[in-house]
Amino acid sequence: MAVSSHARLLSPTFDSRSSDPLLAVASAHRRNTYGRFAHEPKSVKGTVASHGLSSFPIFKFPPNFVRQLSNKARRNCSNIGVAQVVAASWSNNSSPSSSAAAAAASAVNTVDAAAAAAVPTASDAVALEGCVGNNESLKVEEKGLVDSRTSVFDSDGSVAIHAGERFGRGRADDAITTPVVNTSAYFFKKTADLIDFKEKRAVSFEYGRYGNPTTIVAEEKISALEGAESTLIVASGMCASTMMLLALVPAGGHIVTTTDCYRKTRIFIETMLPKMGITATTIDPADMNALEVALKENNVSLFFTESPTNPFLRCVDIKLVSEMCHRHGALVCIDGTFATPLNQKALALGADLILHSATKYIGGHNDVLAGCISGPLKLVSEIRNLHHVIGGALNPNAAYLIIRGMKTMHLRVQQQNSSGLKMARLLEAHPKIKCVYYPGLPSHPEHSLAKRQMTGFGGVVSFEVDGDLTTTAKFIDSLKIPYIAPSFGGCESIIDQPAIMSYWDLNQTERLKYGIKDNLVRFSIGIEDFEDLKADILQALDAI
């Protein structure tokens, strides 16, 4: 939009001829909108007070004014200024003349430093507070362009802090995208409102660690996908796991977990929980007899595992495990990060809680850290109460990225499911690959179970190269498309050698205790075209 379009928007009485982009603002931009004048001639002051902006004499900027504006400044005038002009002109409680005056003052505020250099007096301008949809906005006093709510301020510094916010802001509920609410605390208009909140007659987040409007949207979106009453979203998947364990397992309690799981989860269970007297039984993901024994011999509080697991993609019979644990009064929490809420519904299968590292498929762009726990309101509230004490709150900007990522999750996961299955079949048939771990393959130990409880098998394929540590590293280094990195589930393909990436601090013998061989590879397939990935894998295998 050209800068000159501002003149047409301000008022039909304004002259919009030639290159007068901010016509009728020439006087208003020098006025301090909070009741003080900056070097204003008395004749102009009187005109404003008596007749309003529509009675201003027509002032024109110099013919070269537009040329003096930088391209950036002109864009700012076009995009931001028009919005402010329209906002002011639509305000419900302002007369036509006062709306135009507010619009003119707002438009001046959009000219950036380059424009200010061209028109030195613009440095005196302060934008009038005003918001679309706020019935209290733009109440202009008779004596001039004074907002009665901000006339309490004598300092431009105070105005810069509070204008547009302290006394209410515009609506955001008609925006297509969810606004990012960057605040660390929430205020109460008066002490009586605070007391109402404390006595649970009113609702507020009170403090940023306790909640955020942007974060709530992400939580509700995940709850809807999982069919859960409530969801808590926090700063990372590990934060979600550790807080869940601390909140739901009492001191001296007992948990059951599985041999194959994320290493940092195992470290927490093995090193931190014993400090609270919490013990653990570790079983094979498919060993239901071992689970039954553990339930009978211990006062088990919780069964916690991944399904599929990391990195061998083992699957747990969620329905059977839930039935067994519930008979003994134990809760069941499934980490469904590898499955996603689209490929598997753990709550519908009987689990009490479903946990995700939202960093992975839910965020889906390798650009955000987050974790979430979904389930019944009672259980999630217990975890949330501990979260309020411990912290680990998700930044609202990260919550926005989760919301944005989820909008394309079904498209991404569909592509990754398809490419994952094709890649697993390709690798299994290749002579330089010894073994492939993927629940979509008939050779997988829980293939039949995976078909029953999953609608897709995900985009992670683990496999063993026919070679040693060095040969496997050479294969990985020969790849052109995937990044050598941790994590998975993003748009970009990622590959790593667990013996080096996650277990390098252990010697070979210690790694083998967890089944981590030197030739093991975990391939997280992104959303690239499968034929490109196929060609890359084949050329890398040819290189070894």
pLDDT at 148: 60
d(CA 453, CA 92): 56
Reported pTM: 0.72
C-alpha to C-alpha distances, 8 to 19, 82, 184, 498, nearest whole angstrom: 12, 10, 41, 64
Of 424, 525, 427, 520, the residue nearest 482 (C-alpha): 525
Contact indicator for 150, 31 with CB cutoff of 8 Å: no
pLDDT of residue 19: 39
Block mean pLDDT (10 aa), the chain, length 544: 38 38 38 36 38 41 46 43 40 41 42 39 34 35 48 80 76 86 95 96 95 95 95 97 97 95 94 96 96 96 97 97 98 98 97 98 97 98 97 96 95 97 98 98 98 97 97 98 97 97 94 94 98 98 97
Which two three-digit tokens encode residue 30?
A: 């020098």
Cβ atoms of residues 167 and 131 within 8 Å:
no
329: which 2 tokens? 């009064």
Residue 139: its H or E element: none
Fold of 154-405: Aspartate Aminotransferase; domain 2 (3.40.640)
Contact 331, 325 (CB under 8 A): yes
Are the C-beta atoms of residues 145 and 139 closer than 8 Å to each other?
no
Two tokens, residue 499: 């013996």
Per-domain residue ranges for the chain?
154-405, 408-541
CB 315 within 8 A of CB 446: yes
The closest of 520, 500, 534 to 422, measured between CA atoms, is 534
Distances 465 to 375, 478, 497 between C-alpha atoms, Å: 40, 13, 10
- Phi, psi (degrees; rounded to nearest 5) at 63: -55, -30
**CA–CA distance, 277 with 261 (Å, rounded to integer):** 22
pLDDT for position 414: 97
Q: Give the per-residue pLDDT at 150.
A: 61
Q: Record the tokens describing residue 163, joined without a space.
A: 């204008």
**Interatomic CA distance for residues 308 and 443, integer angstroms:** 15
The alpha helices in 441-523, defined as continuous H runs, are 447-453, 469-478, 498-501, 508-512
pLDDT of residue 149: 62
Q: Are 102 and 130 in contact (CB under 8 A)?
A: yes
Give CA–CA dist 466/463, Å, rounded. Answer: 10
Task: Show the DSSP H helices in 435-528 as ranges.
Answer: 447-453, 469-478, 498-501, 508-512
**Alpha helices by DSSP H, 298-376:** 318-327, 340-343
C-beta atoms surrounding 430 within 10 Å = 16
Output the CA angle 206-202-235, nearest 5 degrees. Answer: 35
Q: For the domain 408-541, what is the CATH superfamily, name and number?
A: Aspartate Aminotransferase, domain 1 (3.90.1150.10)
